[in-house]
Amino acid sequence: MSNNPTKNPLWQDLRAQAKDIKKSSIQSLFDKNENRFDDMHIELNDFLFDYSKQHINSDIIDNLCTVLESNGFKEKQSAMFNGEAINHTEGRSALHTALRRPSDAIVMVDGQNVIPEIHETLQRIKELSDKVKNKTLVGVTGKPIDTIISIGIGGSDLGPRMVYKALSNNPENIIAQCHFVSNVDGDDIKNILNICNPETTLVVIISKTFTTQETLTNAQIAKDWLNNNLAEHGNAIEKHFIAVSSNSDEVKKFGIAEDNFFPMWEWVTGRYSLWSAVGITLALSLGFETFEELLAGAHSCDEHFKSAPLNKNIPVLMALTGVWNRNFLESSNLAVLPYSQRLEHFPAYLQQLEMESNGKDVDSDGNQITDYKTGTTLFGDVGTNGQHSFYQLIHQGSDIMPCDFIAAVKPDNKLDQSHEILLHHMLAQGQALMQGKQDNADDEPYRYFHGNRPSTTILMRELGAHSLGMLIALYEHKTFTQGIFWNINSFDQYGVELGKELSKKIANNDLDNADPSTKGLLSYIHKTLK
């Protein structure tokens, strides 16, 4: 049977159900079922997941689950956890879940259990982190390292950057300040180097291939900065650089010592690599115990994802409500709205996770997808800032944009009144999106709110390393599940390669196949720079 979901007999049933449910509002679904919230929320550990404000019902969920199962969801889920090469276009496993498994687990890749090597690397990270904490890791001048500069891009940057912002709220828990550089625009690294002391700075280069142009350009600038400032004291690279990569040869060419090299395995895709040695910057800056808690939180989500029935499985329900909105209610966007300043970078992190994973128009069988849509355009910002900018479009715009609201119930900033106001704002937004405002429409039509705009709410008891790890893993598994439903490979990213190839050709003045616009723009740049 074809894994094209539109070939499933239930696809037409779902289209009929969409046509029918559009005749009623989300509010009317509550009116018909006074237990709707009880029926459509799940409490797991310190999480509450509420999808009762989605424009959906249990019969639709059941049909979506059946389509998902018929596409081999359970088999593919097991294959992912067991280390099979589910990234079939690149012939690789996708084993980010193994990175948070306990030391006694067994996960075989090419006949070898990968768990011992994972935990050996974790032990090395712990030892280095302890040295920073104990101030025994010193630079060439003998001063203790107290600052980390993390240089990477994409998955090598977004994950650690997001987590550091979320968990560095308490100065007492920071063992080293951490700065992140990703953009090849020189202003990015220059601004960081200007505030760092080379004598006490450790530079971490994160690049799977160790050939990424942006990362290596910034790494060379940092290398020159250290050499220029510390040359009289000896080999600065030996004590001030470490690397995370799968390419040990290129790391060695750069001059980084073998003891300062941490592996990044081929079976870890960049946007899922936070849990690997890519997270070393978090262990060095926030302590290894914090990184361990992050891993443990993600692992607890893995266990729920593997064991919970589909209609009680939070990542699965996140995925299927997203599919419902995308393919049947024809909503092409998703707004992720964390009501926490500490989660400022979370929407950007999810943009890569979801849009790079599922932004595909060719299915897993190599066929062009023409009869259904994949992927969503994800955007967002923290509440309440977003309320005073783009929420206008969400409330009264022509398109319906589903929303994910995320918040921690308990603050750790001891500003209880501010936090209470914050939570009230979030609840009000979800209510306003669903109910709208229809009174006085004839007299003041510009004050009319249609309502009937769907949202999901995720509440954490508090925002810590464990709960953050779990939150991230929820969205990882949501993304994987949608990939199965849409019959696409969520683990390759060929769409990012073409621009890189053309950039190299432009740099080499190889313009034979360039369009007139590109040639004209390049000519203007060259003239301006003369």
- Measured between alpha carbons, how far is 330 from 434 in angstroms, rounded to an integer? 17
Cβ-count burial 315-353 (b if 16+ within 10 Å, e if not): bbbbbbbbbbbbbbbebebbbbbbbbebbbbbbbbbbbb
**In the block, residue with structure tokens 């560095």:** 168
CATH class of 5-70+308-434+450-492: alpha beta
| Residue pair 336/350 in contact by the 8 Å Cβ criterion | yes
- Measured between alpha carbons, how far is 299 from 120 in angstroms, rounded to an integer? 18
**Domain-by-domain residue ranges, the chain?**
5-70+308-434+450-492, 96-291, 497-529
Residues 6 or more apart in contact with residue 93 via CB below 8 angstroms:
80, 83, 84, 85, 86, 87, 109, 267
Rounded (5°) CA angle 352-378-311: 95
Q: What is the DSSP string of 145-165?
A: P-EEEEE--THHHHHHHHHHH
* Local confidence pLDDT in tens for the 530 residues of the chain: 579 999 999 999 999 999 999 999 999 999 999 999 999 999 999 999 999 999 999 999 999 999 999 999 999 999 999 999 999 999 999 999 999 999 999 999 999 999 999 999 999 999 999 999 999 999 999 999 999 999 999 999 999 999 999 999 989 889 999 999 999 999 999 999 999 999 999 999 999 999 999 999 999 999 999 999 998 998 899 999 999 999 999 999 999 999 999 999 999 999 999 999 999 999 999 999 999 999 999 999 999 999 999 999 999 999 999 999 999 999 999 999 999 999 999 999 999 999 999 999 999 999 999 999 999 999 999 999 999 999 999 999 999 999 999 999 999 888 999 999 999 999 999 999 999 988 876 778 888 899 999 999 999 999 999 999 999 999 999 999 999 999 999 999 998 888 889 999 999 999 999 999 999 999 999 999 98
Instruction: Characterise 99 by phi-psi region: left (phi > 0), alpha (psi -120 to 50), beta (else).
Output: alpha
Q: Tell which residue, 22, 79, 73, 30, has the closest CA to residue 51.
A: 30
Cβ-count burial 400-420 (b if 16+ within 10 Å, e if not): bbbbbbbbbeebeeeeeeebe
| Residue pair 320/65 in contact by the 8 Å Cβ criterion | yes
- Measured between alpha carbons, how far is 303 from 290 in angstroms, rounded to an integer? 20
Q: Residue 43 belongs to what H/E stretch?
A: strand 41-44
Q: Which CATH number fits domain 96-291: 3.30.365.10, 3.40.50.10490, 3.50.50.60, 3.20.20.30?
A: 3.40.50.10490
Query: Residue 1: its pLDDT value, please?
Result: 54
- Please indicate whether residue 41 is annotated as part of the active site: no
Q: Which of 135, 500, 519, 526 is catalytic?
A: 500
- Please indicate whether residue 500 is annotated as part of the active site: yes
Residues 6 or more apart in contact with residue 387 via CB below 8 angstroms:
425, 429
- Please indicate whether residue 232 is annotated as part of the active site: no
Do 96-291 and 5-70+308-434+450-492 fall under one CATH topology? Answer: yes
Q: Which of 293, 354, 356, 476 is catalytic?
A: 356
Q: Hey, CA dihedral for 75, 79, 84, 89, is it positive or negative?
A: positive
| Side-chain half-sphere CA neighbours of 481 within 13 A | 28
| Residue pair 407/426 in contact by the 8 Å Cβ criterion | yes
Rounded (5°) CA angle 274-271-315: 90
| Residue pair 135/255 in contact by the 8 Å Cβ criterion | no
392 by Cβ neighbours in 10 Å (0-12 / 13-18 / 19+) ranks as exposed
Relative to beta strand 455-462, strand 403-410 is parallel
Query: Residue 2: its pLDDT value, please?
Result: 74
Q: Which of 34, 232, 388, 501 is catalytic?
A: 388
Tell if the pTM clears 0.95, that is, is over it.
yes
- DSSP reduced 3-state for 255: coil
